[in-house]
């Protein structure tokens, strides 16, 4: 009889892995299924900092808001050649060893114990996806969603390097996962570019030639300011239009700058 003693349930964790291939840049290969379903998995790129090391793992908290945060426990190593069916010690990306980040995401306040057994289980669960990604060597392969599992409660412990929470203290995050603000800034930049284009003031409009395929030839020169086109004193309207365009551009630019500063 256990005399009413309660046994704690294993901490549920979700595995993930990031690596690169020969021609394909560093990418998220496998991610927690709930992050994939909600299109949030890109946060793994931002949070997983650290230098490659074989004798330690990194732990970091990802803070979204006071009521929601994630805890990541992961290691940064080099991908072994045997993991992707190659000979030698390491899988190479050209002349360089291929980095591998693999670990777990935890949704509870206390993460799992950092053990060799946990790392081995993560490696086993991500191994097939890492190899398939490396062999395919393409950006079109989708991120694999992986389910949770119960983290081992005992085992050989691994040294943990604690990293500062992400985002850092004092940084304001008003939208989930920090993805909305960059989109607004990109929109503002695109709007400014469109305004300049509409006003005829974009870079390249004042040059003597038009760049691009085929060499479209010289741009017709602007009218002479002295009015030599047959009627004296006819250059004023062109000059007025240019001044009006410049003034309008300055006003619109100032408005867009104010909007961008409000979004920071």
Q: What is the 3-state secondary structure (H, E, C) of 86-125?
A: CCCCECEECCEECEEEEEEEECCCCCCCCEHHHHHHHHHH
Q: Are 106 and 73 in contact (CB under 8 A)?
A: yes
- Does the pLDDT value for residue 81 go beyond 50? yes
Whose tokens are 């289980």? That residue is 121
Residue 79 has a CB neighbour count (10 Å cut-off) of: 25
- pLDDT, greater one: 111 or 240: 111
What's residue 172's pLDDT? 46
Nearest by Cα to 73 from 50, 106, 44 = 106
Q: Are 202 and 193 in contact (CB under 8 A)?
A: yes
Nearest by Cα to 138 from 264, 3, 17, 21 = 21
Is the bond into 247 cis (omega within 30 degrees of 0)? Answer: no
- pTM > 0.75: yes or no: no
* pLDDT tens digits, one per residue of 83-101: 999 999 999 988 999 999 9
* pLDDT tens digits, one per residue of 188-229: 555 555 554 555 544 433 333 333 333 333 333 334 444 444
Alpha-helical (H) ranges within the chain are 33-37, 43-47, 116-136, 180-198, 236-263
pLDDT confidence band for 250 (50 / 70 / 90):
confident
């Amino acid at each position: 009889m256990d005399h009413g003693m309660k046994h704690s349930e294993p901490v549920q964790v979700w595995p993930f892995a990031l690596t690169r291939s020969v021609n394909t840049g560093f990418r998220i290969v496998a991610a927690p299924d709930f992050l994939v379903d909600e299109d949030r998995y890109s946060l793994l790129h931002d949070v997983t900092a650290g230098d490659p090391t074989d004798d330690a793992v990194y732990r970091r908290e990802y803070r979204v808001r006071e009521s929601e945060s994630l805890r990541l426990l992961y290691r940064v190593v080099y991908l072994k050649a045997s993991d992707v069916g190659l000979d030698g010690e390491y899988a190479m990306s050209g002349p360089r060893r291929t980095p591998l980040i693999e670990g777990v995401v935890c949704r509870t306040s206390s993460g799992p114990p950092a053990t060799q057994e946990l790392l081995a289980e993560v490696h086993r669960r991500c191994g097939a996806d890492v190899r398939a990604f490396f062999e395919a060597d393409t950006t079109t392969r989708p991120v694999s969603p992986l389910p949770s599992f119960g983290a081992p409660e005992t085992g050989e412990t691994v040294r943990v390097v604690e990293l500062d929470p992400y985002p850092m203290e004092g940084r304001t995050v008003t939208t989930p996962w920090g993805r909305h603000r960059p989109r607004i800034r990109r929109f503002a930049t695109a709007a400014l570019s469109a305004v300049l284009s509409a006003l005829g003031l974009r870079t390249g409009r004042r040059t003597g030639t038009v760049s691009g395929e085929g060499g479209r030839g010289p741009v017709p020169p602007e009218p002479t300011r002295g009015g030599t086109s047959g009627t004296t004193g006819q250059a004023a309207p062109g000059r007025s239009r240019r001044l009006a365009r410049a003034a309008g551009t300055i006003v619109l630019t100032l408005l867009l700058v104010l909007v961008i500063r409000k979004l920071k």
